[in-house]
A and B are shown apart, each in its own frame.
Chain A
Amino acid sequence: MALIPLLAMVRKDLRVFFSERRSVIVSFVVPIVIASFFGALFTGSSQDSRPAKIGIAIVDQDGSAISKAIVSSAQADANLAVTMPSAGAAHDAVRRGKTSVAITIPKGFGDAAGKAFFSAAQKPELAFAYDPSRRIELAMVRGILTQHVMQAVSAEVFGGGQGRRILDQTLSEVRSSSMADEDKRALVQMMTAVQTFYDRPSTTGGGTATGPRGITMPYDVREEAVTAGANAPYNGYAHSFGGMAIQFLLFAMANLGIELLVERERGLWRRVRSAPVSKLTLLTGKAASGTLISLMILLVSFAFAIVAFRVRIHGSVVGFFSVSIACALMASTFGLLVAALGNSPATARGVTTLAVLMMVMLGGAWVPTFIFPAWLQQVTLIVPVRWAVDGLDAMTWRGIGISGAVVPTAVLLAFSAVFAALALTRFRWEEA
């Protein structure tokens, strides 16, 4: 392969690329801006470990000890940001999207819940008015509130004033009920035992000294984010910068392929082909310049993320570069494929834009693939972007060593080989 023409191809493509200010801005600046935005979403601006609170509104129409305990418990929950507006204001807040869920505790809820705790009495309703665009938060609020309601009702039933009154009332109703004698006797016996529990003298550390605890979760959760190391918190910018850089280097390479179609239309390719240079040299030159430009886009993006957002290569530096080079080569050969299969610049532009967007969407460049359904996660393994994103994630915030780069690099090189072979065989070499 002739080296001088090859290097000339590379130098010329770099000159043309950097002479177009707009393409430079789109390729280098835009991904940084978008990745910064997505990174802020994934990481949170403060980068601390506190979870984002779900905003809910509680309208307490009951005012009972139980409803007050529910409100108090919810307000103390680290996952909830509780407000207590009027019923009308709560609905309005949900309608305007300012609050996910408005919960109304109706009048008589405390008494009814206490009775339903022991008997088959009618269960009272908690009214949930929710924003339909935030169903995931609704499910979370429902689960969190179940814990608080159970704790508040059981605590009151087993020790509070309202609970005693409910128990006395329920005991009286059971005695006069028409249930089977055996059942009635057992139930009265249990309730009487609870009354005895109420009436016993206070003991140190007992329920009455510190207030009734009620039914609580019988376990605590110890959470640990598994990242590169104990002192390396998850940094969402690592993922977003990798994803966005891949997206825009693919766009840049698709454009390089389209530029080749433009060169063909402008007769430039006729002049190039008239020189004593082999087909392999011409395509290798294009692939080499594309790989260099892609690599620059990727490395500039990561350099910015390292300086501005403290993204670090916690895994293998060699692995990071091997994935980056393989990714750049894959993108470059994708550009050659565009040039080989495209009929005209206009049609190629539309088709490749769609193809790139599909690849980056399915490859997890926008959002991590773990939020995809299981079947889709398997399907996306055929998308090269998926391997590039996973490989860069492994080398950055996951902190996996060189072993984590081997498979992504190999798969990306395989995609490059397939794209290059297709381009070489499908390229229109004859110039009428």
Chain B
Amino acid sequence: MLTIQHLRKTFGTLVAVDDVSFDLEPGRLLGLLGPNGAGKTTTVSMIAGLLTPERGEILIEGARLAGDTDPKKGRIGFVPQDLALYEELSARANLQFFGALYSLRGKALDRAIAAALELVGLADRERDRVKSYSGGMKRRLNLAAGLLHDPDVLLLDEPTVGVDPQSRNAIFDNLEELKRRGKALLYTTHYMEEIERLADTIVVMDHGRVIANDTLDGLLSSMPAAAGSPASLESVFLTLTGRSLRD
């Protein structure tokens, strides 16, 4: 579904992403892990069309993604790390706007809004202003806005930052439902337990490069158990990326 080949991006002298490649299949969730500054967000931004890669290609079912108005962009949904919502507007007005950006209108737009709100459990609050929502509700609406146009690929950039366990669990349920529907999900996070629960494939990045690309079992088996206790994803991650602080 989504193929990333040899992506590279620099900002001045800083090499943010260098020779990054991976594949993502339908109905699968790829967890993208890495310390701060590893290049995760830059990679996601290039796939979402926010940054232009200096080298490499992004392919949707083998076809190269090119330009702002490439219709293939409509097959990608983006859930940014920030709560990208107009707080002054109602949930419905927000979704009407974001849906229209993908040329949805009329009954098709109404159906899409109803389905997205139903999925995230906000159907009964659609006419309330977003600023009256709790943090968890905003996160769920943030997810709904990325799903409106029924994308095949969903990019989720730390979608559970700052939410309570109940809302996080609800979001996980939503993502598992999306996987069942055949969506391909690319998920970045700092929370290891989220990746352990959700990911089919894990890509670890550091200093702009992919340093591991495997299943959870594959990564765990690559590390010897320490002092009798089995290896965890966190210990694997720290072994791969080191223990020095990244600010």
On whether the beta carbons of A12 and B49 are closer than 8 Å, the reply is no
Q: Does A273 sit within 8 A of B, measured CB to CB? A: yes
On whether the beta carbons of A430 and B52 are closer than 8 Å, the reply is yes
CB-CB < 8 A to B102: which residues of A?
Answer: 275-276
Q: Which of A2, A20, A267, A432 contacts B83 (CB 8 A)?
A: A267
Question: Closest CB-CB distance, A61 to chain B, in whole Å?
Answer: 72
On whether the beta carbons of A267 and B80 are closer than 8 Å, the reply is yes
Q: In the complex, what distance in Å separates the CA atom of A242 from the CA atom of B105?
A: 39
On whether the beta carbons of B69 and A278 are closer than 8 Å, the reply is yes
B window 93-141: CB within 8 A of A = 93, 96-98, 100-105, 129
Question: Closest CB-CB distance, B93 to chain A, in whole Å?
Answer: 6
On whether the beta carbons of A277 and B84 are closer than 8 Å, the reply is no
Q: In the complex, what distance in Å separates the CA atom of A8 from the CA atom of B102?
A: 10
CB-CB < 8 A to B103: which residues of A?
Answer: 2, 4-5
Q: In the complex, what distance in Å separates the CA atom of A166 from the CA atom of B78?
A: 103
Given A273-B50, A431-B50, the answer on whether A5 and B85 have CB atoms closer than 8 Å is: no
Q: In the complex, what distance in Å separates the CA atom of A265 from the CA atom of B181?
A: 33
Q: Does A222 sit within 8 A of B, measured CB to CB? A: no
Given A276-B73, A277-B68, A432-B42, the answer on whether A4 and B84 have CB atoms closer than 8 Å is: no
On whether the beta carbons of A432 and B80 are closer than 8 Å, the reply is no
Question: Closest CB-CB distance, B24 to chain A, in whole Å?
Answer: 17
On whether the beta carbons of B96 and A276 are closer than 8 Å, the reply is no
Q: In the complex, what distance in Å separates the CA atom of A19 from the CA atom of B145?
A: 21
Q: In the complex, what distance in Å separates the CA atom of A217 from the CA atom of B106?
A: 80
Query: Which residues of A pack against B, CB within 8 Å?
Result: 2, 4-5, 7-9, 11-12, 15-16, 19-20, 266-268, 270-279, 430-432
Q: Does B51 sit within 8 A of A, measured CB to CB? A: yes
Q: Could you list 17 examples of A-B contacts with CB < 8 Å?
A: A2-B103, A4-B100, A4-B105, A5-B100, A7-B100, A8-B97, A16-B88, A268-B82, A275-B98, A276-B69, A276-B73, A276-B102, A277-B69, A430-B50, A432-B16, A432-B41, A432-B45
Instruction: Give the interface residue-count category, chain B.
Output: 35 or more
B window 29-72: CB within 8 A of A = 41-42, 45, 48-52, 68-72
On whether the beta carbons of B49 and A274 are closer than 8 Å, the reply is yes
Question: Closest CB-CB distance, A302 to chain B, in whole Å?
Answer: 28
On whether the beta carbons of B84 and A431 are closer than 8 Å, the reply is no
Given A12-B86, A12-B93, A432-B42, the answer on whether A270 and B101 have CB atoms closer than 8 Å is: no
Given contacts A270-B82, A270-B84, 16 further A-B contacts (CB under 8 A): A4-B104, A7-B100, A15-B88, A19-B89, A19-B129, A20-B88, A267-B80, A267-B81, A267-B82, A267-B84, A270-B80, A271-B84, A271-B146, A274-B48, A275-B102, A278-B69
Query: Which residues of B pack against A, CB within 8 Å?
Result: 11, 16, 41-42, 45, 48-52, 68-74, 76, 78, 80-86, 88-89, 93, 96-98, 100-105, 129, 145-146
CB-CB < 8 A to B81: which residues of A?
Answer: 267
Question: Closest CB-CB distance, B197 to chain A, in whole Å?
Answer: 25
Given A16-B88, A16-B89, A279-B68, the answer on whether A431 and B73 have CB atoms closer than 8 Å is: no
Q: In the complex, what distance in Å separates the CA atom of A7 from the CA atom of B100?
A: 9
Question: Closest CB-CB distance, B180 to chain A, in whole Å?
Answer: 24
- Complex: chain A residue closest to B87, CB-CB: A266
Q: In the complex, what distance in Å separates the CA atom of A29 from the CA atom of B73?
A: 44
On whether the beta carbons of B86 and A273 are closer than 8 Å, the reply is no
Given A266-B84, A268-B84, the answer on whether A12 and B97 have CB atoms closer than 8 Å is: yes
Most buried by B among A8, A266, A271, A430: A271
On whether the beta carbons of A16 and B69 are closer than 8 Å, the reply is no
CB-CB < 8 A to B97: which residues of A?
Answer: 8-9, 11-12
CB-CB < 8 A to A12: which residues of B?
Answer: 86, 89, 93, 97
Given A8-B97, A267-B84, A431-B45, the answer on whether A274 and B89 have CB atoms closer than 8 Å is: no
- Complex: chain A residue closest to B72, CB-CB: A276
Q: In the complex, what distance in Å separates the CA atom of A274 from the CA atom of B48?
A: 5
- Complex: chain B residue closest to A272, CB-CB: B101
Given A11-B97, A16-B88, A268-B85, the answer on whether A275 and B45 have CB atoms closer than 8 Å is: no
- Complex: chain B residue closest to A269, CB-CB: B84
Q: In the complex, what distance in Å separates the CA atom of A16 from the CA atom of B69?
A: 26
CB-CB < 8 A to A16: which residues of B?
Answer: 86, 88-89
CB-CB < 8 A to A267: which residues of B?
Answer: 80-84
CB-CB < 8 A to A7: which residues of B?
Answer: 100
On whether the beta carbons of B51 and A430 are closer than 8 Å, the reply is yes
Q: In the complex, what distance in Å separates the CA atom of A207 from the CA atom of B84?
A: 92
CB-CB < 8 A to B146: which residues of A?
Answer: 271
Q: In the complex, what distance in Å separates the CA atom of A359 from the CA atom of B103?
A: 39
